Structure 1
Amino acid sequence: MPAMQRRADIGLPFMKMHGLGNDFVIVDARAHAAALPAPLVTAIAHRHFGVGFDQLAVIEPGRGEADAHLIFYNADGSTSAACGNATRCIARHLMAKSGKAELTLTTKRGTLYARDAGNGLTSVNMGQPQLDWAEIPLAREMDTLELPIDGAPTATGMGNPHCTFFVDDAEAVDLEARGAEIEHHPLYPQRTNVQFASVIGPDRLRMRVWERGVGVTLASGSSSCATAVAAARRGLTGRKVTIELDGGTLQVDWREDGVWMTGPTMHVFSGTLTRDFLDSAE
């Protein structure tokens, strides 16, 4: 059997959570270490033969003074340095368990700060955006405000790469076709998340998302942050915006200390992956 968390050899406990329909399997590995090889991650991700998720997150013990360390996987088994909505879900869970109103979390993206925003909402500071071509990264030096791609999208890094198109009507875009095409564009050597956004009011955007390694999702926290940054840079909005996604609404505020994202979360259920399932995924 693979070297992963086993409690009394009964399987692998997990939580199913979502932020605006952007859904996650969360494995708490603070007390028992967990190793999740790519075949197991993809098996769990399958919505018919597994549990189903947009991303899987592992909670590890905090490093230094941090409350916890987070690791993220996409549905195709690849890893991601950032996942905003999963970070908010985990922060809400940890705050509920600890009674704390503020947390410090570490990720491959860096140190993130989370807090209870009241009324059941959770805020996470996703850090400063990466605006230089080499940090995003892009394949070669260029102006990240308008890329040499049809539609002149904006490139932004939020610990993961993003490509944001501003269009008249986000609803009219063939998201599956365009998202899959742009994810693998040669300008993005690590692939990219893709957003199509329309300005629908003062500091209000309608956005739809294609996530790299996943596909169409109902929401994306890091994509929302990237889109808010891109809109502000292009003078379409101010730095504080409301973003309407397929799964609901997020508030994004690009401040001096980073990009703050606020929205609801939901812990749907807890369960245990059986030994039979874990063994079948080896």
Structure 2
Amino acid sequence: MTLPFRKMHGLGNDFVVLDGRATPLPVTPARAAAIADRHFGIGCDQFIVLEAPGEGADVFMRIRNPDGSEAGACGNATRCIASLVAAETGRDRVVVRTIAGDLPVERLEDGLWRADMGPARLGWQDVPLARAMDTLHLPLARGAVADPAACSMGNPHATFFVRDLDLVPVAEIGPGLEHDPLFPQRANIGFAEILAPDRMRLVIWERGAGLTLACGSGACAAIVNAHRRGLVGRRATVTMPGGDLLMEWRADGHVLMTGPVATAFTGTLDLDALAG
């Protein structure tokens, strides 16, 4: 089966996108992992399949990580998919449905898109964590980093706050933290350096993906956790290796994310050849 695909990215956080809205696609976790492989497949941080949404949304976005596991949320992909549907429909506002909920996205000026990523969930059961505890201070440490805060943005996140991000060996400690027994569903691990009350640097070790140039839901978790700690206001620019996202944690609990989208290239793939 030969299918067209699109390679998109938000700040270098890249996606292979297939359209399964008209006809369901036989994409197994193993096949998704094969497509996401950067040496033997096309390569991406997340593999996206568009599906028919049902009532109340414009598109359903199914997200798989490079290891084939399913993700509940991906902020950069949400903006990318909204831009595709907006181009099809001519509308400036699109609702993207995910397994974690419906995400409204609107077109702004200068090629930017703003996504309402929904409310941050702060309870230990919501993250989820392995046992009851205060999500503002987790009893977790690796080397020089310790005391993260946690929340859910449709997927589990823990954010460590560090003095100098350049001194943190993220690639070394990220895998162990992702798989720590404290996180029964594993977790995305963020490392944030506060630069000002309205700016921070962030590096993310993504669950099932590893180091990425940007992570939209990770930026959402970072501003929520940083504001809860009194480190930043409710609006802040989050600078990641791939670029900047403007983040806002509204008083109603919803997190807004503003950033660009891009299409790198389009092509066709042989789904049978990438059977995993």
5+ residue gaps, structure 1, are: 1-5
**Contact 1:25–1:55 under 8 Å retained in 2:** yes
| Overall identity of the aligned pairs, in % | 48
**Contact 1:161–1:193 under 8 Å retained in 2:** yes
Structure 1 segment 206-225 matched on structure 2, within 5 A: 206-225=201-220
Partner of residue 69 from structure 1, selected from 37, 47, 60: 60
Q: Does 1:148 align with 2:139?
A: yes
Partner of residue 242 from structure 1, selected from 237, 244, 265: 237
**Contact 1:208–1:246 under 8 Å retained in 2:** yes
Partner of residue 106 from structure 1, selected from 85, 97, 112: 97
**Contact 2:128–2:156 under 8 Å retained in 1:** yes
Report the 3-state secondary structure (helix = DSSP H, G, I; strand = E; otherwise coil) of the residue aligned with 2:175. Answer: helix
Deviation per CA, 1:141-174: give whole Å up to 9, x if none.
Answer: 0000010112100011001000100000112110
Structure 1 segment 168-179 matched on structure 2, within 5 A: 168-179=163-174
Partner of residue 268 from structure 1, selected from 238, 260, 264: 264
Q: CA deviation at 1:257?
A: 5.8
Aligned-partner residue type, residue 155 of structure 1: A
Q: CA deviation at 1:280?
A: 4.9
**4+ aligned runs moved over 6 Å, structure 1:** none
Aligned-partner residue type, residue 124 of structure 1: A
**Contact 1:63–1:106 under 8 Å retained in 2:** no
**Contact 2:129–2:184 under 8 Å retained in 1:** yes
| Alignment root-mean-square deviation, CA | 1.1
Number of the residue aligned with 2:33: 42
Number of the residue aligned with 2:16: 25
Deviation per CA, 1:7-53: give whole Å up to 9, x if none.
Answer: xxxx0221100000000001111122113111111111111111000
Aligned-partner residue type, residue 161 of structure 1: P
2:238 and 2:65 map into 1 onto residues whose CA distance is: 23
1:142 and 1:117 map into 2 onto residues whose CA distance is: 40
Structure 1 pair 249/280, CA: closer, same or farther in 2 (3 Å)?
Answer: closer
1:253 and 1:280 map into 2 onto residues whose CA distance is: 40
Aligned-partner residue type, residue 273 of structure 1: L
TM-score after normalising by structure 1: 0.94
Deviation per CA, 1:33-89: give whole Å up to 9, x if none.
Answer: 113111111111111111000001111112112111111000000001111100111
